[in-house]
Every structure is written in structure tokens, then in C-alpha cells.
Structure 1
Amino acid sequence: MQDATSTLKEDLLQRLSSRLGALVACALMGCGTPETTDGATPPASQRAGLDTPVNVTLNKPATASVSQDPFRPEYAVDGDITNDDSRWCPGIYNPTRLLDIDLQGTFDLVRMELYTGYRDIRPIKSYELLYDDGTGWKPLPGASQTNNTSIAVSTTFPQSVTAKKVRFSCTDTLADNCRVKELWIFGTPHEGQVNIPPVVNAGPDRSLTLPVTSVSLAGSATDADGVVSSLLWTQVSGPVATLASTTTATLSVAGLSVGTSVFRLTATDDAGASSFDDVSVTVAPVPDVLTNVALNKPAVAGTSSASYPAPLAVDGSLTTRWESAYAFMTHNSLDVDLQGPHEVSSAELHMSVSASSAFAMPAFELQAWDGGCWKTIPGTVVEGNPLTTTLRTLTFTAPVITDKVRVVCKDKPYCRLRELKLMGKPSTVTPTGPTTCAAGQQTVVRNLRYDYALFLPAQYNDDRTTTWPVILSLHGVGGSTLTTDRTAVHSNPEGLARQFSSASFRAAMKAIVISPNQRMPFTNSGDGWFNNASVLALLNDVKRDYRIDLDRVYLTGLSGGANNGFEMLLASTAEFAAFVPIAITHNFVTNPNLCSLKTLPIWAFQGGLDEPSRATGIKTQLDTACGAGPSAMRDVTVYPGAGHSGATWDTAYATLPLYDWLLQQRISQRP
């Protein structure tokens, strides 16, 4: 029968009063907030005041049907009734609330002590105790209650029962939480039972960070049917450390280094049975200190005001700034050379002319050089930034390893950047292997000179060192290569860009192809005439943005684009290895600088109905009027019956032998 006397209750409450007396009782639906405690945990046998029977649930494996973190089932059998954090809670509204304890042997059970509640309130009102002797669960005689009001209950069973496992079942209403601080069940080993090995706990795993290199590990061991006669700590694995006090419960470890070390506590009882438990100690290196890796590094920009050059954006001063040269140019950019690989985690952009002014960039993003092209850094795309928000801190979705970072200012107003800070550290890892650029297809690239259709050969990503020839292709006055909103390549682009609709042509092309679009965005306005200085500036941008073989840079154009090509080359041929003009409309034969093209490889194409003499006359003039010997210009290819139309330029651009010849030409081979 139950023996829950007032004397026991008073005794138990006195033992808890030092911790509970100052606390104000409150109605808590949850398990309460964990608190820090320095209270010691008395051994169960000491608490019970008995040598035998002993608490056979102490530190035995405990499991639960459900648990509310961090109140785990093992806390209900750890022997600690003074620390209110040490309890099992299943949480509310769980219909099945079971706590099972494996006794790890067979015992004759005679009585129990149950400690429940939160601090000194909210005892469990209704519960059942069951036992399993190996044949299934049965009620433990006299141990269940339906109207309990005490946080401490002691029950002596009407008769002893033989059990291997014990189960506590909370039957309170679902809206109540069941809080079990300790479940102690006392008994003796069943007659004829073999010696039970000790239960060992080496303590929780530990984590350290250098410069800390030492730690104390507190273990424990109990023996249900005897006493622990010896303890021994050893190191199992990991960097070798220095151990002290190896035969006590508390081990002192010194000389730890970076890595994970495993230590083992072995306990032996008075009958010679042993068991062990392992604990790991992980030592992390000193955290890296992130610094502004952009400070005073080389910086260049697409355009810069003469008074506010690019280096002023990384000079460490908020009173200076970089400012773009033209307000109407979108997609201006600032490039910072980090001078070696760095791992960059975040960026800080100080914009406008001062912190309180209203000239911040409304739309921008950061890009990183990945070895073959510029890639947007995840977490850095900003749209709709208020003009008054002059400071933006951008934390990258993940750190990037790169040696160059670009800020792209995407809207029309002036780009003003007082300071760009890139927080990172030098990287010991240099990116290797394939790149991830959009290769084998045409894509749209926004640029402050001209937006363009880009083609990278299918093999471009294979490595990070191979350089590739580049073909700059100019459409005619009436043509275009991109849609009016600049989001896609035109479905029927003019010029070389049209050929990339063919899979076989894409596979055959072994050069980078840049096809600028000379039309105003969104309105498609403009006469289609390219500005030669802007085209050459675009070429310089391309040389920075891709892996270009500077000895194999080629120019082609049709109609007005071919005229632009001649005009650029008559001024200087130094930038290009060869020229392919198609369907020119101007007469360059009488140009006083024509002879400067004598050594430039040229292959011209003209329709038979489109005044082919404009092209053949250039060939004749270069061969006969520009010094001894033939020129480097090939015979003009004339298409009989073709006029000033795609019958000429589409046919020419589809001629694969053209590219076999073109890609053999080199600037270094010209006289």
C-alpha cells in the first residue's frame, strides 16, 4: 500500500527549500526556462539513506515516447533533485507520455520515490507505474495514483515484484505538462543474477577554440549491485595530449591541438566487471580576423569623372569618391584587383556625395571574377534602393574566393561610391578546375558602351588558363541583335549573331563572338551608326571580362557596320589581326590613309547587284598603289545575283572556311 507520510514530505521539502523558497509560484504551461545552477547531485543511495535495497534506476538507460527539448528522459534518473533543469518533460497535448527505464538486469523491486513538478508546484496528479519481467508490461502494485497533490511521493509496494524494465505513464489531462524530476525505484538483484557491470558516463562532448589548450573532464560511474572499485581515463584517438588524474572521476587534459581527441573512462566494480564511455574534445583554430581586403588595391572603372577617379573608392576615406563620367550610361562598373585570391564574405558600400545626401545608387550588384567571366555574387543584388540610403552592408549568401570584385551600377544616374569595403581574408586555396560561364550559346550582356550578344565556345569552361580569339561583329544601320528590353537575343538578329541558331554552327565556332546592339533600350530608337571610339572602348571592356588571346582579335561588319570597321582601321590597325567587311556602302578607294591597310589580312564579301567595285577597288588599290608586292587582302568574294541583303551577309557568315582562315591570322605575324 502507499506510504506517503507527512514526515517524508516535510523532509523532502526541507531538502528543496534552499532553492525553491525564494521563487514565486506561477502558472506555467511549458516546462519553464532552464536556469544555471551550481548545486551538487547527491548519490541516490545517500539520498535514500539505505545501503540495501539500492536505487536500481540510477543512471540507467531511459527513453520516452516524446520529449520537450531540452528536458530529456535521462534527466529523470540522473540522481539530481536540486537542479530544476534536470527533469523530463513530454510537453503538452501529447496523448501518450511514457518514460521507460531499462534496469540492465533483473531486480526484486520493493519501493519507489517520485519527484515531480516545477520548483515546488505543479505535481503530477495522475500517473501509473508498470513493470516488465520479460513477458510484457504489468501494473506495479500500489504504485499508481489518480489524485496526487505532492511533489514528493514515497511508496512501498504491497509485495515485491521481479522486473527488468520499469515504465512511468503520465495520465494527467493533455493540457498539463508532466514534469518528472526523479524516479527512484529501490530493489535488490534477483536471486541467481549475474554481476551487473558499472554504468559509466564520461560527460558531454566538449568544444574549445585556440588559444585554449586544456580542459577538465568530469565523469561518473555507478554500480547497481556493488561498488565501483576503480576508474581509469585513457586517450583513444586524436592529437596526443597530456593527461593527469587519470584514476579519478575528473581528468585534467593539457597540450591539446587542433582536431578531435577521444578520451575513455573505464570503470571496474568489486566483482571485476568493467564498462566504459567515451567523450570527444574538439579544438578549433583561432578564428580568422576579417579585414577590408579592397583597401588601396588597384581599381579601374568603365568611366570616371576626371575629378573623381576609381582609386578614390578604395582609399579608406569617406570624404573622397569615385564618380562615373556620364549620367546617361547604365551598367557602369568599378573593378577592384585584390592582387591574389581572397575569401570575401561581405561588402560595405558608402554611396552618394556624403552620408546625408540623396544621391545613392538605386540599383546595383556585386560580381566576382571566377576565372573566365564575371558572376553575380548571391546576396548582393539590390533594386529600388532609396536615394537617401547611402550606406548598404551586403552579407554574401556564402563566402566567395576570387581575386577581383566588380560593383555594377545599373541605373542611369551618376554612380557615386565614396568607399567600397570588402571584408575577407587571404585564401590559401586557389580556385581550379572548370569554370561555370554560359558557354555554347548566345546570352545577353549589359555594358555601358553597347549591350551585346555574347557567344563563348562550348569548350570555354574546360580550364582556367586557355585564352580564346575574339570576333567583334557590327550589324548594319537598320539592324539589331537584342530585343528592345535587352532581356534576350533577338529572335532574328542581324549579322554573325544570326548563325548561332544552328547547333552545328555553335559547335564549329572556336572563338568568342561579341555582337553589339546599336539601339536605345526600350525605345529601339537610334540610327544604327556605331560610335568608333565607343566600339574600341567596348573591346577594351571585353579584354577585361573574358580570357582573350590578344594576338587574335578580329573585326567584321556588314553594311554600315563594315563602313565603321574601315573607319576604325584607317585610323589604326594595331588592335586587330584581320578584318571581314561585308556589303560596304562607302567608297574608301580614295581615302588618303588606305595604304595603311596593305599588310592587314582582309577578306571582303559583296553582292553582285550591290556595286562590288566598292570592295574590288580597294583590293586593286592596295595591290597596285601602295608599294611593291601584293597586299594581304584576299580576292573579294562576290555573290552573283545577290543584292544589299541577307543573301550576301547571311551567306558569307555561314561560310565555315571563312573562320578557318580568320582564326589563323595573328597581329604578331603582320609585317
Structure 2
Amino acid sequence: MRIFRRALPGLPMFAVVSLLLPGWGVSEAEAAERRFLVDFGDGPTATPGWNNLHFGSTGSSLSNLVDSAGVGSGLSLQVTDGFWQGWTGAYNGGGTTASTVYPASATRDTFFIGTNEGTTDTQAQVRLSGLAINGTYSLRFYASRMAGDSADRTTRYTVGAQTVELQATNNIDGVVQLTNLVPSNGALDISVTMKPGAIFGYLGVLEVIEQDGGVVVNQPPVVNAGADRTVPLPTNTVALQQSFSDPEGQATTFVWSQVSGPTTAGLYQNPWTPLVASNLAQGTYVFRLTVTDAQGASASDDVSVSVVPSTGSGTPFLRTLTAKSVTASGKVIHYYESLPRGYNTDPNRKWPVIVFHHGVGEKGSTPESLPSVLGNMTLVRDNVPLEFDINGVTESFIVLIPQLHGNYGDWQDFFTQAMIDSAKANLRTDADRVYLMGFSLGAFHTWSFPQRSDANARQVAAIVPFSGGRVYNVNGVSQLCRLATEDVPVWTFHAADDGTVHVSYTDAAVNGLNACSPAPDPAPRYTRPATGNHWIIGSGASPTQPPANNIYHWMLSHRRVSTPPPVTQRTLTPRVTTVPKLWNGQMGYYESLPRGYDANPSRQWPLLIFLHGIGERGNGTTELSRVLSHGPAAQINSGHPLEFTVNGVTESFVVLIPQLGEAGASWHPYQIERLLDVAQAGLRINPKRVYLTGLSLGGFGTTAFVEFSLANAQRIAAIAPTDGAHYGGIIWTPDLDNVTTNACYLAQADVKVWQFYGANDASWGRTATDFIARLNACSPPSAPVVTRYENVGHTAYGRAYATDHTYHSPNLYEWLLAQQRP
């Protein structure tokens, strides 16, 4: 980022005038003073030749103040904290008309603070800016309220550490003054308050006196074109966030230009949105933001945009934004395509699609006008990832944003259909998860598209309209109930105070849909706040809303199902594998898949591996059923689905239950390693949510695996050993000989631990406490959870593996599901 600034040469006009004053017969001392007079509350008439401020509300301002000679300047005045404004333009007109200091048009009207008509304002603030950086100033204050009483109306005026007081009650010629004021960064801030006990405070006249002829040096604007950017192909459009300000508070204008680049980019800019640069190709572009103030001083800042190939197999590392076009019904439709991060990571993965329809102000039919559609979909414009964790799977969307041609008064179906067809033909689209969104005019169409035909409705998984509603009729007959019969869920937003599209449009659509028979299932969701005006989309479409109020979570919970998957029970299937690192020895195990495992082919599941105790050893085939005696294996065998609701989401596990051979003295880390490899190669496992648990001898194996190596520990999110833990020390291996275990591997990998044991377990309880002591000596970032059951021996597993909340809330399974590797 490179910054350039330019200030105009020479003295401002008022400095030149000051130099000429001695030639008019004025003393040199007088020539060094310059006065500016401000009338606060210029009713019923303004004061001629003065600077008249009509409104006392926050933000009211005057620029280019004229001095007492009528010469303009770079000075500005702004109300930064408003006076009492029970109504717009409120002022008090009860001041004197008999003052000999200032004219009656200035003294009879004031702005005020205090309690009036049930509302209170106890302070006002005014800022003077554009002052001479080497000047010294005096400020003179005047206020009058001819009240006919003696009530205290003492007003305090403060600048920095200086304060003066003026009694406004029945004041005619009294003035107060602050002197020797030195501006800070060319500005003085004035506070207006009431003396304690006073009932009102006033300001009618401010006289600004520049005492020593200081020269105002106009400072150029401060400009920031933003940080340099790198974006991946196929992105060919980027939004650049500008920011700038003027030290003196002057009005500014800005313009973007291209300095260099491999092609000539299309630049789209307006005063309230970022620059949108389009038609980009691979290479580096430099764009320049130039800002000019009212006196002609300017400054510039450059920003570079590097367009690079996507990494690896073509995976974009940022959400893309690509301008495209398609022809439908003889019309060329320009649109934006935005692909999620990681779109090409899995060439078999299919993605949900959002088609967004803009409002009436963004219509157009050329590539040059297309950037305007990003005004309603700033999330895509600004590269927000739009990624959400749904049941352990990171989900996102393909987003398509077409532009409606200007000669159409309303959206036509072929615009939407062209987007859906293009997505299905050219992108890896999940056809059962196509969602429609729309704002204002686009909301009307979002409602009407699925009402127009069964074919339309059967393409849409859900709709989310903002600030608009419609009941579509054919020959006077509402088609609204098609949304109910064709199962199109609705979540609509409309603020009651919308002054652009009346909320009654959405009320009618929601009420009509609720009246359908059969009733829509689910019922339409209607967010109807009292305030929000027409722009409720800003909050409603925010991706940071919590899951219960998040439209993206809601959309992803709905899908059309072309072929409904069968409702399956949890499986329990015997399997056999070999362990290459242990002489290819055979190991039998049960594989248990959760209900609904096949419903979503892209969903990844948590994995739970359960290691049995010494009494359940067997040959892995005909004796495999021995492992079903205790723990989660017994729960599955009895028909429990192992489904638990955590953070509002019902989840479950893939469960693997291996059997140790009769001759096996203990579980070996290579056996668990092999089971993990088999699961992650052949099943849809979430690698961040792998859990290991075991009882007695299985507790030994559980802790031994993560103490064996840091690599092992980094594969596990949490462990739950019960009734035992590994002794520590060494583990022999065929390939590495003796390996020294280290509990600090768990601390380094931040493996979460919940250890269970019985207080009366004289034989093996100490192995649990010894393990916890070894781990705590490593200062783990997550302290282990330890449960010691009083009056329980070597049967702590009976309580540890309970699926209800008799002994624990959350229970062990809920606790495991809440753990996840970073």
C-alpha cells in the first residue's frame, strides 16, 4: 500500500486579505485579528452577514464559515452532541431584542438544554475545525432568556481545561470569553452544560476570534485503499473497501483508477459501496484511490490485487466471485457465480445452491452494470466464506446472483430457471438442495416462482424472501397452497415499519399459507420485527447469527429427496482385518453404523472405538459376541441407537468394537492404529472427532495408545478410560523394539480426558490415579476430568457408560460429542 498526498501551494484567501488590511488604514494589531460570528437558532429570521445554524440536532453543520468581512474560509462547525430537539428545528425564541452587543436577530433565539416536555438533554457539544495549526483563538459566548423570573439558567462553556459561566436569565449585554485557546489537530471542541441547580442552559451567539493571524494550512485527506489482496482463479471480480477522511471535516470526492495490470479491468464505483473491479485475469493489478477535499488538496493510496492459479488440484483458498453469462429465452443473462472454498477438494462432492434475486434498483443487462447486484449480497462481494458446521460436516453453498434486465418490471421465471439449469449442467450441484433467496422485488419473485407450477416447486428445497410477499393467482385462484402440497418450506422476513414495501404483502402470504389444507409442514417461519425498515436483510442474512436464528443452518436442514433413503436401524456387523505391524495377525471386530448413515452421502460421522476387558477375549469370529457384554457394545446390542442431542443437534457415532485374542496379554497401540486406518479409509469419518474408550484392560489400551506417540495423540479428540490405565514405561514393538511412553503427548495434542474408577478398586484404581498424575505433571491445556465413585470396586464402567443422566450430566456420550480437535 503506497500513499501520496498533495496540498495546494500558496496562502488561502483569508490570509491574503489579512495581509492587505493595513493598506486600508487599519492598525497592524487589528489586522492580526479575524472574527467569525455564528447565530445559533436563526429563527424567526437569520442574521445577515453571519453564519446561521438553523438545526441544533447532532450532525448539523456549517462549512466554509465567512468572517466579519464576508470572506470565506476553510473553517467548519458541527454539532457533535445535539441540543434539546423534542422536534426538528427546536429553539427558544425568548431572548432579548435590546442588546447593544449583537443584533436582535441573533440575541432573541437560542438553542438550549434541559428538561422540556418530558424529555431531557443535559449536554451539547460543538466542534470547530479547519483552524490555523499555529493560531491562537478566543471564543465569546452570548445567550439570553427574558423569563420574567429569577430562576437559575447559568450555562457553562468548556474547552479543554477552561470553563466560563453565563447567567442567561434576563441577560441583555452580558458575554463571557475563553482566551488563548490552541487547536488540537486544527479543531476546538466546545461543551455546553448547566451549572448544578440550573434549570436550563443556552447558546445563542458564538464569536470566534483568531488572535494572531495564524495561517491555516489545509491538510490533504487521509486515504486508505485497503490491504493488498491475493485471489484465486476462477475469480475475475474483486471488491476493494475504501476508507478516507478529511482532517478539517471538509466535503470530499473520490475516484478509483487503474495504474497497471495484465488487462484493463472494469471499474464499478458509487459513493456508498466499495470499488468492484471485474474482467480480471491472472497477474498483478494496481488500483489507485484518489480523494480530493473542497479546497483542492488531494491524496492517493495504491492497492495491489494478485490473481493467481488455484492451489493443488484446483481448490480455491477463498470463496470465488466470477462474472458469467448464459442465454435463455433469447436473452443474455449476466450473473455472478461464487464457489465455496475447497470446491475441488473432493471431485465427487455435490454442493447446495443458493439463487439470489436482487431488488428493483439493481436491474441491468450489461457486464458493466452487473456489479450493482452485489449491493444486496455483500457477503459474497466481501468473500465471506459462508461455512457452517452441520453435524460435524463443514457445509457451504454455491451462490448464483443473476441480474434482471431493466425492461422487465418483474422477475421472470426463465431467469431463475437458467440459474438452476446452469448449475446442474456445469457445477457439482446437489439437486435436492436448491434454495431461493430474494430482496424486495426479488422477494416477490422468490414467493411466486414455486407457486407458478409443480415443476417449479419440485426444484426448490426452501425459500427465504426479505421485505416482500406475494400470493400468485391464476384466474383469481390463489396458488399459494402449492408450497404446502409440494413441501417447500418458507422463512420470510419483513419489518413492520417498512416504508418501501408494506408489511401487509408478507402478512397476506404467510396467513394464506397457514390457512392451506393440508397445512404446510413445517409451518412458515415469519420474522416480523417492529423496526428494521426495508433493509432487514442486513441482520436477517447475517451468517454470524446463532444456529437457531441462522437462515443458512435452516436452509441446510431442508432438502428435496428424489429417492428417499430407507430408514435404517443402527447396524452391528462382524468384520475381520489384519494388523500388518503385528505380523499380519488377524483381528475381528464389530462395525456399528448409526441410523441414517446412508441418508447423506457427504456427511462425516464421529468415530468411537471401544476396547473390552480381559474377560471378553476370543478368536475374533465365533467368539466375537463376547465383546457385547459391557459398555457401549452392550448398549448397541440391546437396541440403543446411541443418539444424543448436543448443542441442539442430535448426533451419533460410528462405533468399532475389536476383540483381543485369547493369548493377548494387553491391547497394543498397533491394533488401534490399524482400526483407525481401516475406518478412515472405508467409512465416512470426521477426523476431528475420533474418540477412544475402554474398560479395565481396555482402559490400559486406551491410555497406552495416546502415550505411545505424539502422532497417535494427534489423531484422537478425547479418551475415556475406566477401571484402569496404562502403567507408563515402555511398550515393545516388532519394528521399533522398546518405545518409551510419554503422557505429555496428550498435553501437547490437547487430548481431552475423562477418567473413571472405583474408590474400592484396590487392584487397579491406582493405575488411574498414577496416569492422571503423569498427565497433570505435563500441565495439559485442558485439565482432565476425574470421576471417583465411592463404595464401588472394579465395576466403575457400569456407571461410566450409562446412557441417561443418573450419574452424570452430560453423560459420557454427550461429553464425547462435544469434543473436537482444532
- TM superposition score normalised by structure 1: 0.31
Instruction: Choose between structure 1 and 2: higher helix proportion.
Output: 2
Tell me which structure has the larger Cα radius of gyration: 1
